[in-house]
Structures are given as C-alpha cells and as structure tokens.
Amino acid sequence: MNTKKATPKTAKRPLKAKNSSPKKTPLAKKPPPQKTRRDFLILASGAAGAVGAGSFLYPFISSMSPAADVAAAAEVEVDIKSLQVGQAITVMWRGKPIFIRRRTPEEIKSVQETDVTAFIDPELDKDRIQKPEWLIVIGVCTHLGCVPSGQKPTDTRGKYGGWFCPCHGSVYDVSGRVRKGPAPKNLYVPPYIFVDDTTLRIGQEATVNV
Ligand code: FES
C-alpha cells in the first residue's frame, strides 16, 4: 500500500523578476552612482492627484524606477505654496520625475541675461517658463536618460547652478538648458498650467502662452 503523501502543488512558486524599466536605464557601461537614483522627494504619485508641498519631508524612495501605479497618473496637481524661494521639489508624473524649482531673483536675472546664441540647444528662458519664478522641467537627462542631480541644496549642481548629470557629465543651467554635453537637448518642459497662484496641474497643456 502506497503511504506517500502528495506534495502540495503550491509548495514552490517561481520568484518574480524584479520590476525594471528599460526606458529609464541609461545605456552607459557603468551604472550611474546610487546618488542619482536616490533621495528624491516624491510629492505626488498615482491617480490621487493633489498633494501639498508641506508634506515634502517624506516619503523618500530608494529607486527612481517608476512603479506601474505611479506611471498611470495623467495629470497631477501640486500645491506649491509651501515651497520657499530657492527650494526645489520633485513630483512624479507619468513615471517621470518632474523638477519644480522656485528660482531666486539672482537666478532669474542670470538666465534671462545670458546670450544663448552659442548654446547646444539655443532657447530663451522666457520660452520655457510661464512665470519667471517657477521652472518646471522633466528631470531626465536628454543624453541617455539619467536623472540629474541638483534638487537638494547639497547636491552637485554644476557650474551654472542648475543640474549636473553624473553619468557622462552634462551640465544644465537654472532654466534647464544644457550648457555642457554630451546631452543634445535642454531638459524638456512638460505640459502644465497654473490652476491658481499656488497650484500647478502637470499634464494639462496651457492654452495661452504667458
Ligand atoms: S545620461 Fe549621459 S550625460 Fe546624462
């Protein structure tokens, strides 16, 4: 008589492969330093939409790889009233980090007065913003897709005070314009509107150029 017990079918399950995002992975031979993938302040994610800048002390995330639920939000509203002059925050929109920086008067003067003729991707600051104090750009390097550093005051920001991409050394100014390659293009500006003086809606095209 066979007394062997049957093995439960659920005893072994294959481990799930780690979620990865091929589009976000730079093609560099060496992986970017961990710093570029860390310490981002996430203010908004998922379909919930509205968030407050006052909550920007938490949570931190350890990876910039977007989760599926984060990538789904078509529009994200951000309350920016708590953001002080000189501060920057990062929100997620469609799986991409969006850099929001409240620029200082000195920064605004600097980017407005610079002659862009010899720039890699010549573009006037006024064509990239809706209100001089607020710069909103997609925080993805236009070379191979790394996330540049510069959102925190302690980050390396490069010679022009904007962002520095440590993957291959691209440097961006406070208008998000590339000032040193190999990045070929300025940081892209996402569609957005000001719902009111202290609320941004990212994902909606502005109907009027201010
Ligand atoms: S990904 Fe190459 S310089 Fe940014």
pLDDT of 23 above 90? no
**Residue that wins the pLDDT comparison between 33 and 91:** 91
Backbone angles phi, psi at 54, to 5 degrees: -65, -15
The verdict on whether 143 is a catalytic residue reads: no
The pLDDT of residue 133 is 96
Q: What is the 3-class SS of 117-181, one letter each residue?
A: CCCCCCCCHHHCCCECCEEEEECCCCCCCCCCECCCCCCCCCCCEEEEECCCCEEEECCCCEEEC
**Does the C-beta of 141 come closer than 6 Å to ligand 1?**
yes
> Residue 205 — pLDDT band, cuts 50, 70, 90?
confident
pLDDT of 26 above 60? no
The rounded Å distance from CA 137 to ligand 1 centre is 16
**Does the C-beta of 32 come closer than 6 Å to ligand 1?**
no
Give per-residue pLDDT as tens, 51-108: 444 333 333 333 344 455 554 568 999 999 999 999 999 999 999 999 999 999 999 9
User: Which structure tokens are listed for 15?
Assistant: 């481990």
37, 168, 180, 185: the catalytic one is 168
Backbone angles phi, psi at 208, to 5 degrees: -130, 130
Q: Of all protein residues, whose CA lies closest to atom 3 belonging to ligand 1?
A: 168
Give per-residue pLDDT as tens, 111-155: 999 999 999 999 999 999 999 999 999 999 999 999 999 999 899
The percentage of residues in the chain with a pLDDT greater than 70, rounded to a whole number, is 63
Q: Of all protein residues, whose CA lies closest to atom 1 belonging to ligand 1?
A: 144
Q: Which CATH architecture has domain 72-202?
A: 3-layer Sandwich (2.102)
**Does the C-beta of 92 come closer than 6 Å to ligand 1?**
no
**Does the C-beta of 182 come closer than 6 Å to ligand 1?**
yes
